[in-house]
Amino acid sequence: MARFPQRPQLSEGPGLLAVVRAAVVLALSLALVGTVVRYGFIAYTDLGAPDVDIPEAELLVDRAGRTVHYGASSLTRRNGLWHLHLEGPPEAIGAAHGALAGRLFYQIDEHLRELARKRYGGGVIDTWTASAALRWQYHDADKALADTRRRELAAMARTLPVAEGTRLSAYHRLFLYQCFDEFGHAYDDITVEGAMFAIGPRRGSNQAEGRANLLIGRSLSVELGRRFELPRVVSFYYPDGKYPFASVGWPGLAGVVTGINARGVFVALNAARSDEPSEDGSPLALVLRDVLEEADTLERAVEMLKEADLRAAGIVLVGDGYSRQSVIVELSPRDKEERRLVRGEDEPVIWATNHFVRDAFERDAHNDRIRRFTASGYRYDRLGELLEPLDDVGPAELADVLRDKAGLGGEELGLGNYNALENLRLSHAVVVDATAMVMWVAEGPSALGRFRAIDLRYHLEREGARPAPPGDVLADRVLHSEAFRDHQEALDTIDHARALLTRGRPESALASAKIALALAPDLGELHRLLGDIERELDHPEEALKHYRRYLELVPGKLRDQERVRGLIAELGG
Query: What was the pLDDT predicted at 38?
Result: 45
Q: What angle do CA 253, 352, 82 make, to 5 degrees?
A: 30
Inform me whether the pLDDT recorded for 126 exceeds 50: no
Query: Which burial class, exposed, middle or buried, applies to 82 when counting CB atoms under 10 A from its CB (0-12, 13-18, 19+)?
Result: buried
Query: 501: pLDDT confidence band, cut at 50, 70 and 90?
Result: very high
DSSP one-letter code for 295: -
Inform me whether the pLDDT recorded for 313 exceeds 50: yes
Query: 567: pLDDT confidence band, cut at 50, 70 and 90?
Result: very high
Query: Which burial class, exposed, middle or buried, applies to 475 when counting CB atoms under 10 A from its CB (0-12, 13-18, 19+)?
Result: middle
Query: What was the pLDDT predicted at 163?
Result: 73
Which residue, 472, 537, 482, 528, is CA-closest to 504?
537
Q: What are the structural domains of the chain?
A: 191-224+265-274+296-458+469-476 (3.60.60.10), 483-570 (1.25.40.10)
Inform me whether the pLDDT recorded for 327 exceeds 50: yes
Query: Which burial class, exposed, middle or buried, applies to 466 when counting CB atoms under 10 A from its CB (0-12, 13-18, 19+)?
Result: exposed
Query: What was the pLDDT predicted at 466?
Result: 73
Query: 106: pLDDT confidence band, cut at 50, 70 and 90?
Result: very high
CA–CA separation, 502 and 500 (whole Å): 5
Which residue, 405, 416, 442, 407, is CA-closest to 427?
442
Query: Which burial class, exposed, middle or buried, applies to 214 when counting CB atoms under 10 A from its CB (0-12, 13-18, 19+)?
Result: buried
Average pLDDT, integer, range 329-345: 86
Inform me whether the pLDDT recorded for 281 exceeds 60: yes
Pick from 2-6, 174-178, 254-258 the range whose average pLDDT is largest: 254-258
The β-bridge partners of 439 are: 432, 454
Query: 168: pLDDT confidence band, cut at 50, 70 and 90?
Result: confident
Query: What was the pLDDT predicted at 138?
Result: 79
Average pLDDT, integer, range 5-9: 53
pLDDT in tens, 368-381: 989 988 899 999 99
Query: 227: pLDDT confidence band, cut at 50, 70 and 90?
Result: confident
Alpha carbon of residue 279 to chain centroid: 20
Average pLDDT, integer, range 134-152: 85
- CA dihedral sign of residues 509, 511, 513, 515: negative
Q: What angle do CA 362, 366, 370 make, to 5 degrees?
A: 90
The answer to whether the CB of 154 falls within 8 A of the CB of 49 is: yes
Helices 524-536, 482-502: inter-axial angle, 10-degree rounding: 30
Query: What was the pLDDT predicted at 217?
Result: 98
Instruction: Tell me the CA distances in angstroms from 160 to 86, 98, 132, 165, 183, one per residue in order.
Output: 15, 5, 24, 12, 22
Query: What was the pLDDT predicted at 556?
Result: 63
Cβ neighbours, 10 Å, residue 307? 10
Query: What was the pLDDT predicted at 381?
Result: 97
Inform me whether the pLDDT recorded for 204 exceeds 80: no
Size of the chain in residues: 573
Average pLDDT, integer, range 120-126: 50
Of the chain, the percentage scoring pLDDT greater than 90 comes to 65
Query: What was the pLDDT predicted at 166?
Result: 61
Query: What was the pLDDT predicted at 128?
Result: 47
Which residue, 409, 449, 410, 408, is CA-closest to 430?
449
Inform me whether the pLDDT recorded for 124 exceeds 50: no
Helix H or strand E segment including 234: strand 233-239
The DSSP-derived string for 353-407 is -SS--SGGGTT-HHHHHHHHHSSHHHHHHHHHHHHTT--S--HHHHHHHHT----
CA–CA separation, 536 and 252 (whole Å): 43
CA–CA separation, 315 and 29 (whole Å): 52
pLDDT in tens, 510-549: 999 999 999 999 999 999 999 999 999 999 999 999 999 9
Pick from 13-17, 178-182, 205-209 the range whose average pLDDT is largest: 178-182
The answer to whether the CB of 154 falls within 8 A of the CB of 173 is: no
The DSSP-derived string for 171-227 is HHHHHHHTTHHHHHHH-TT-EEEEEEEEE-PPTT--TTSGGGS-EEEEEEEEES-TT
Query: 392: pLDDT confidence band, cut at 50, 70 and 90?
Result: confident
Pick the more confident residue, 104 or 165.
104
Pick the more confident residue, 442 or 228.
442
CA–CA separation, 452 and 181 (whole Å): 26
pTM assigned to the model:
0.88
Identify the three-state secondary structure at position 83: strand
DSSP E strand boundaries for 44-162 = 59-61, 67-70, 73-78, 81-88
Query: What was the pLDDT predicted at 348?
Result: 94
Q: In angstroms, what is the C-alpha Rg of the chain?
A: 28
pLDDT in tens, 238-261: 999 999 999 999 999 999 999 999
Of 128-132, 156-160, 541-545, least confident by mean pLDDT is 128-132
Phi, psi angles (nearest 5°) of residue 390 = -70, 140
Query: 107: pLDDT confidence band, cut at 50, 70 and 90?
Result: very high
pLDDT in tens, 21-48: 777 776 676 666 655 544 454 445 677 8
Average pLDDT, the chain: 88
CA–CA separation, 243 and 133 (whole Å): 38
